[in-house]
Every structure is written in structure tokens, then in C-alpha cells.
Chain A
Amino acid sequence: AQKITQTQPGMFVQEKEAVTLDCTYDTSDPSYGLFWYKQPSSGEMIFLIYQGSYDQQNATEGRYSLNFQKARKSANLVISASQLGDSAMYFCAMRDLNTGNQFYFGTGTSLTVIP
């Protein structure tokens, strides 16, 4: 069963606008962590933001924020004031303690920022 679902294969956003990348997850463990990574065309995986399942507030890191809706099991990434350098693949991931500290990744969303 798919643990992480990203339903948007590709997204476009105008420079300086905000964009939301969707992510839903599936776990029965009350304790888990949710992550977003960026993969530019150069190929490296860059950690962006983390949300713990017990965190009361949505995580924020600079222009990145995570819209965490626990009851809906969604962890959407919001990028504000998009920049051309934000064009990349974005992966949502979950750390699941039920399966011995494994990480599960979604299939990714390709974001293109248009000047």
C-alpha cells in the first residue's frame, strides 16, 4: 500500500507567487515524522522542512511552510514568493517508527517557476 501519495506530477507557478504542493500519507503509528526534500536538476537531495506528528504548530523554514492537517493525513508544502531557483522536483517523505525507522517517499512533484 502506498504510504505517501503526491498527486501532482507537475506544477507551474509564476515568479513571486505562492504555490502549494500536495502530500497525503498513510500510517497507523501515532508517532511519525513528515519531511519535504528538494531535488534540483543537479540531482542532490536537499532537506527543506520537518513536521512531527505531535507538533502543535505548522512547521516553517524561511519561505517554506508545511500545512499539517493530521485528521486528513495531509502535509502540504507551501512555498511563498517563488523564485526561479525553486524549479526542481519536490519529494514528500515519512519516517515510520512502526517499520523500524524506515523512510517512505512519494513519487515527487516537478515544479517549474515561470519568469
Chain B
Amino acid sequence: NAGVTQTPKFQVLKTGQSMTLQCAQDMNHNSMYWYRQDPGMGLRLIYYSASEGTTDKGEVPNGYNVSRLNKREFSLRLESAAPSQTSVYFCASSEVTGTTYEQYFGPGTRLTVT
């Protein structure tokens, strides 16, 4: 049981390059999330998917796109990377029903855009 996995762990991009961050969970959760974490800012929600087939914008969606490929996988795409997107990106999943609804986080992807 791996929980939430993310690839890659580290990435360096040049301005204007594109890339996709991959996320998968094996807990059969309906909801999945993408956050970015910048120093002093806490975690800010980029996009989330309440269930397979649906996606919604979070607090900071500009410059990103997402795909909920199936129940397990939720990818984040940067079409044209900018230095302002240098951050640590976390994927998370949670269940809508249940008693606690806590989110389970992946290990994060450290992205640097030069």
C-alpha cells in the first residue's frame, strides 16, 4: 500500500518549457488535490477533483491545467513554465464520506524554473 505517489521528486525547467507532474493514489479515494507550497505562504490549492470526471479551480489555478485520468491518477500540467511557478508541489487525496476526511499527501515535487 503506497498511499499517494508523485513523480518526479525534483525538476528543473527553463522558462517556457512544459511538463506534467504525475500523481497516483491506491486508497480508492474519490477526491484528489494539487497544492503548491511557497515559503511563508502555507499550502495553496491549485486544482481539485471531487470525483472521477470532475475538476475545479482552487485558489491559484492560472498557468496550470489538470487531468483526472481515472480514479487513481490526477496529473498537473504546466504548459509554459514561469519563474513564479518555482515551488514545491503536493498532491493529496481524501475520501468524501467517513468520519475524519483527512487528506493524505504525497512526498512532493520540488520544481525550479530558471
Contact surface of A with B, Cβ cutoff 8 Å: 4, 6, 9, 33, 35, 37, 43-45, 47, 50, 52, 91, 93, 95, 100-108
Q: Is B101 within 8 A of A91, CB to CB?
A: no
Question: B44, B90, B96, B101: which contacts A45 (Cβ < 8 A)?
Answer: B90
Please judge, given known A-B contacts A35-B102, A44-B107, whether A101 and B48 are in contact too, CB under 8 Å: yes
Residues in B neighbouring A45, C-beta threshold 8 A:
90, 92, 103, 105
Interface residues of chain A: helix, strand, loop or mixed (majority): strand
Residues in B neighbouring A50, C-beta threshold 8 A:
100-102
Residue pairs across A and B with Cβ atoms less than 8 A apart, 10 shown, are: A45-B105, A47-B102, A47-B103, A52-B99, A93-B43, A95-B101, A103-B45, A103-B94, A105-B35, A107-B41
Interface range, B side: 20 to 34
Tell me the chain B residues, 36-61 only, with Cβ under 8 Å from chain A: 40-45, 48, 50, 56, 58
B100, closest chain A residue (CB): A50
Question: B58, B105, B107: which contacts A102 (Cβ < 8 A)?
Answer: B58
Q: Complex formed: what's the CA distance from A43 to B99 in Å?
A: 27
The contact string, 1 if C-beta is below 8 Å from chain A, for chain B 58-90, is 100000000000000000000000000000101
Contact surface of B with A, Cβ cutoff 8 Å: 31, 33, 35, 40-45, 48, 50, 56, 58, 88, 90, 92, 94, 96, 99-105, 107-108
Q: How many A-B residue pairs have CB under 8 A?
A: 58
Residues in A neighbouring B43, C-beta threshold 8 A:
91, 93, 105
Q: Complex formed: what's the CA distance from A72 to B35 in Å?
A: 28
Question: A44, A52, A93: which contacts B108 (Cβ < 8 A)?
Answer: A44
Residues in A neighbouring B107, C-beta threshold 8 A:
43-44
Residues in A neighbouring B40, C-beta threshold 8 A:
9, 107
Which 4 interchain pairs have the tightest Cβ spacing? A45-B105, A107-B42, A105-B43, A50-B100
Q: Complex formed: what's the CA distance from A103 to B104 in Å?
A: 12
